[in-house]
Structure 1
Amino acid sequence: MISTAWGISFRAFDIGQLRIFFAFGVLQILNLIFISVFTLYQMLSVHTSLTLLALTPIFFMLLTTKIIMPRMAAFTRQNQEAVGLLTNRVTEAFTNIHVIQTNASERSFQRLIAQENDKVYATDMKVLMLRTLFFPLMSALTGLSQLVVLFYGGSLVVQNKISVGDILAFNIYLSYLAFPLTSIGIILSVYQRSKTALERLDPFFNETPESGSDAKILPFPNPNEVDIQDLHFTYPGSIHPVFMGLNLRIRKGEMLGVCGSVGSGKSTLFQILTRIYEPPVGTTYFEGKDVTTLDPITLRREIAYALQKVHLFSASIADNLSFGLIDRPSEEELARASRSAQILKEIESFPDKWDTQIGEKGLRLSGGQKQRLALARLFLRKPKILLLDDVLSAVDNITEARLIQEFRGIGCTMIINSHRGSVLE
């Protein structure tokens, strides 16, 4: 699984390398081809053997490139991997700043970041050392071509085989070739970085969108009834099964409470019902329709799934409540849903009310406020099936009782997972 930090690294660094190659590298390649063809034609028209001899250093240039490029490729990959690790470490520091502070671990985390930074520096220096050797060598070989023209061309002038004007023309043509030939090193360096970046981005490009599956998408039924038959499920890459022959049937409007120890598969059941994890064919049904034949996007619009961990966005309260809805709800609808979630009075007490900015991940709200704001989304969704994954852990007993009463009033099929016995009674 690709972490958020790796995604940031790919976006900021690898895509940047591809942009440089296509904006600068491709232009330089076209420039090199055009100038080389034009100049070589003019040089050959003056004297063939002098042209071939003047181009001899270029073959050494190609040989040097063949030797150096594999090493540069390896060092470039190491450098970009090190940048990804550093980005991951820095992102962890920002997202877990409170954990670091409460454990007084600032200095130890600084050391970890410094270690990752040293790796970036070390790998970057390896790349720079090769480039430092490569580019002057390209310039030296280009200068060697000019020396060949002066010495061999001078002997041809003495023998009256070519004129001094031809030597002058040759030097002008070589000066035309000088920058394109010298820039070969830059082009190859940019190409190597972009090639490595493309290889690292390959997992993103090879991901198949959910809606692009080969499954036949059937007309979506009213998913009021859930039927699970002999479900066996194991997480990808694991050898320990989560479910072994699970059978479950929930009729329209029924409410089911799920209780179990940590790791018993309570949350996994919800993720299978919403096709976050794909169940085996012929095991999970809505109204008699196999869930694997249903469009996952349409399915999730009909099912409201409240996650155990609350996820809020750095936006206004109204924007967070409207998230995932096709049509933006009116203020009256927002108020009705917030009242059901037992948070309306607190929203109205804020100076900006619905326009209140809650900060990154709801930083300006308490744990209970975050949880109830997330629950208000569910009341706006008007779902056919409601999945509640231990969503009442941060509210008091009185608020819990009111919320359960509101859930019962929705009238939809409901599955509740909780560690609290009072919720499941």
Structure 2
Amino acid sequence: MRELKFLNQFFWKYRWRLLLGIVFICVSNYFRVLQPQVIREALDLVIEQVNSYRMYDGFDLGVEYFGVLSYTLMLFGGLVLLLALLMGFFLYLTRQTIIVMSRLIEYDLREVIFDHYQELSLDFYKRNNTGDLMSRITEDVNKVRMYLGPAVMYCANLLSTIALVVVSMLAVSPTLTLYTLIPLPFLAISIYYVSNIIHTRSTFIQQQLSKLTSVAQEVFSGIRVVKSYVRERQQVNYFAQESEQYKEMSMNLAKVDAWFFPLMVFMVGASTIITVYVGGLQVVAGNISAGNIAEFVIYVNMLTWPVTAIGWIASIVQQAAASQKRINEFLETKTSISDPAPDDKHQLRGDITFEKVSFVYPDTGIRAIDKVDFQLKSGEKLAIIGRTGSGKTTVADLLLRMYDVTEGRILVDGKDIREQGLANLRRQIGYVPQDVFLFSDNIHNNIAFGASHDPSREEVEQFARYAAVYDDIAGLTLGFDTMVGERGVTLSGGQKQRVSIARALIKHPEIVILDDCLSAVDTNTEQQILGYFNEALADKTAIIITHRIYGHLKFDKIIVLEDGGIAEMGTHEELIKNGGYYSEIVERQMTEEEEA
């Protein structure tokens, strides 16, 4: 139960529903316990009056006597039916309170997990796969909900039923009650033993289910690669292998339940036999009536489900504990990127300074940036050029505070970004990543996603023109209402890049970071986009990370990165004179353009 303590806050939040539900259970079971007592009175009445009826048999008085007896038994039957209806009504109210409470907590728990997921930094997502994240917010939460609702309800039902039944039994015959309850200690020992087995196996089953989810998610996301390399059969075999392991684990757990429940039913049946035998001796001795035996048999049957449910409840609790432990592992994970000023809303000017910035990736130990030092004033344009793996994208990640620097500091408007409001900083930076991601939604919503307000269709279309993608979208059957598919799979690489550019620009950002976002567009389209950049970004600070030189866009400063450090820095003319890597790129690009 240690792992489940986290859920106590939700029980407190919905305490009135919970308490009301427990009251309804107790009232329902009270009416249920009254039914055997009414049946006992009816049976004793029949036994007592049957001899009297035989005395008047054949006489007119006998017919009248039989009518009175029949009417009395009908009243008893009607009373039993009334008690059953009352019991059922309060049982309905129980489900409307406790089960509804569990659904509300399920909703809250998923919200808490999802919110926490979004707060965690980028390094967390690099350490954990998407399938495992999905499994914990779906399958594990489902297991926990079974504890929050059905387990709590049946546990309250178990305790109240046993309390009311045992009190009623003791009031009739303490001796018979003692004999009837003899099998229960053996049942408790069995439950303790099996619960430990269930807990252990449930943990491994949930881990294997996470692995299955991860495998499926990766295959479906990379289906193009799988098909292009003709690896469908290999992936099917691997998934079947993992599924077989999951099946074996689940079967082993099912075998435990298969032996456990019949054992409990057997013990409850033994209680019934003991009741009839010992109760018969008590009737002969004159200590109880024959109706009491019937009453006790009904009581034993009433205990059958609650006692049987002990094992089921224990199984649910153990599985919920295993799942909540997995959920707690992530909820207890702290983000490495803290937000010092969540309410910060001040306007950025766009001055950027890197002071001896170094960064080492925490998981791999790779030094991506080494003592990078430069200054960019508001409205200036910077190009960052370098070979693959030189640290270009890392500069963008650090400026967005996806990671915090290992050494040195980054200043925006003269203030360390670690002291600025995280949301405010990112809100005023328009970022187009190298790996373009589009949501499984229509094109309009994908572009509008970047805006801090609810943009009109006209505004979305205007920024699509700025990104030179309007004509492409207009040529689609549904235009801006076209669904782009998962990760934008229905669009070409160039179209996805331009939609992503429109999404970044509609923010009206003070700082724009473009990470090699024109690699998949043709020269004419590139000129259209850069023409807008010259106009719209005239007073904006812009950082363009690229492998090529854009002759249509004038840069105030150009940095050439090599092995994480600055190899060259200056204007276009200065770097051409140096005759270094930048000069080689320009010469090679000019040759390619002439040949084309």
- Output the amino acid matched with 1:299: L
Q: Secondary structure at the match of 2:356?
A: strand
Which whole-Å CA distance do the structure 2 matches of 1:225 and 1:214 have between them? 20
- Bigger drift between 127-136 and 85-94 goes to 85-94
Pair 1:172–1:334, CA change in 2 (3 A): closer
Q: Which residue of 1 is the match for residue 185 of structure 2?
A: 59
- Bigger drift between 85-94 and 7-16 goes to 7-16
| Residue pair 1:217, 1:293 contacting (<8 A) in 2 also | no
CA root-mean-square deviation:
2.5
User: Residues 112-158 of structure 1: CA distance to partner in whole angstroms, max 9, x if unpaired?
Assistant: 11111111111110110011011111111212222333344444445
State TM-score, norm by structure 1: 0.92
Q: CA deviation at 1:192?
A: 2.0
Which whole-Å CA distance do the structure 1 matches of 2:333 and 2:339 have between them? 11
User: Residues 375-401 of structure 1: CA distance to partner in whole angstroms, max 9, x if unpaired?
Assistant: 112222221111111111111233334
| Residue pair 1:221, 1:287 contacting (<8 A) in 2 also | no
User: Residues 272-293 of structure 1: CA distance to partner in whole angstroms, max 9, x if unpaired?
Assistant: 2112213369712110122112
| Residue pair 2:443, 2:481 contacting (<8 A) in 1 also | yes
Which whole-Å CA distance do the structure 2 matches of 1:213 and 1:203 have between them? 22
- Output the amino acid matched with 2:545: N
Q: CA deviation at 1:176?
A: 1.4
Q: Which residue of 1 is the match for residue 168 of structure 2?
A: 42
Q: Does 2:510 correspond to 1:384?
A: yes
Q: Which residue of 2 is the match for residue 92 of structure 1?
A: 218
Which whole-Å CA distance do the structure 1 matches of 2:231 and 2:407 have between them? 48
Consecutive unaligned residues of structure 1, counting only runs of 5 or more, are none
Q: Which residue of 2 is the match for residue 16 of structure 1?
A: 142
Q: Which residue of 1 is the match for residue 296 of structure 2?
A: 170
- Bigger drift between 101-110 and 192-201 goes to 192-201
Which whole-Å CA distance do the structure 1 matches of 2:131 and 2:304 have between them? 42
Q: Which residue of 1 is the match for residue 195 of structure 2?
A: 69
Which whole-Å CA distance do the structure 2 matches of 1:421 and 1:85 have between them? 45
- Bigger drift between 380-389 and 275-284 goes to 275-284
What is the total number of aligned residue pairs between the two structures?
Answer: 425
Q: CA deviation at 1:89?
A: 1.4
Which whole-Å CA distance do the structure 2 matches of 1:143 and 1:76 have between them? 30
| Residue pair 2:371, 2:408 contacting (<8 A) in 1 also | no
- Bigger drift between 307-316 and 162-171 goes to 162-171
| Residue pair 1:281, 1:292 contacting (<8 A) in 2 also | no
Pair 1:80–1:177, CA change in 2 (3 A): same
The structure 2 residue matched to 1:286, chosen from 383, 393, 412, is 412
- Bigger drift between 207-216 and 404-413 goes to 207-216
Q: CA deviation at 1:418?
A: 1.4
State TM-score, norm by structure 2: 0.67
Q: Does 2:546 correspond to 1:418?
A: yes
Which whole-Å CA distance do the structure 2 matches of 1:337 and 1:233 have between them? 35
Q: CA deviation at 1:103?
A: 0.7
Q: Which residue of 2 is the match for residue 354 of structure 1?
A: 480
| Residue pair 2:344, 2:424 contacting (<8 A) in 1 also | no
Which whole-Å CA distance do the structure 2 matches of 1:260 and 1:419 have between them? 7
Pair 1:394–1:210, CA change in 2 (3 A): same
- Output the amino acid matched with 2:196: P
Q: Secondary structure at the match of 2:544?
A: strand
Q: Does 2:235 correspond to 1:109?
A: yes
Q: Which residue of 2 is the match for residue 249 of structure 1?
A: 375
Which whole-Å CA distance do the structure 1 matches of 2:354 and 2:325 have between them? 41
- If you compute each CA radius of gyration, which structure gives the higher value, 1 or 2? 2
The structure 2 residue matched to 1:327, chosen from 453, 467, 484, is 453
Q: Which residue of 2 is the match for residue 31 of structure 1?
A: 157
Q: CA deviation at 1:182?
A: 1.0
Q: How does 1:285-324 map to 2 (within 5 A)?
A: 285-324=411-450
Pair 1:137–1:176, CA change in 2 (3 A): same
| Residue pair 1:228, 1:247 contacting (<8 A) in 2 also | yes
Which whole-Å CA distance do the structure 1 matches of 2:370 and 2:218 have between them? 36
Q: Does 2:271 correspond to 1:138?
A: no
Q: CA deviation at 1:62?
A: 1.2
User: Residues 224-258 of structure 1: CA distance to partner in whole angstroms, max 9, x if unpaired?
Assistant: 11112232322233433333333221111111121
User: Residues 292-320 of structure 1: CA distance to partner in whole angstroms, max 9, x if unpaired?
Assistant: 12221111110001111111122222111
| Residue pair 1:282, 1:290 contacting (<8 A) in 2 also | no
Which whole-Å CA distance do the structure 1 matches of 2:230 and 2:407 have between them? 50
Which whole-Å CA distance do the structure 2 matches of 1:295 and 1:214 have between them? 6
Which whole-Å CA distance do the structure 1 matches of 2:343 and 2:441 have between them? 35
| Residue pair 2:360, 2:406 contacting (<8 A) in 1 also | no
- Output the amino acid matched with 1:82: Q
Q: Secondary structure at the match of 1:59?
A: helix
User: Residues 338-394 of structure 1: CA distance to partner in whole angstroms, max 9, x if unpaired?
Assistant: 222122222222233222222222222111111111111222222111111111111
Q: Secondary structure at the match of 2:452?
A: coil
Consecutive unaligned residues of structure 2, counting only runs of 5 or more, are 1-126, 552-557, 559-571, 573-596
- Output the amino acid matched with 1:111: N
| Residue pair 2:353, 2:374 contacting (<8 A) in 1 also | yes
The structure 2 residue matched to 1:268, chosen from 358, 375, 394, is 394
- Output the amino acid matched with 2:184: I
Q: Secondary structure at the match of 1:381?
A: coil
Which whole-Å CA distance do the structure 2 matches of 1:119 and 1:300 have between them? 44
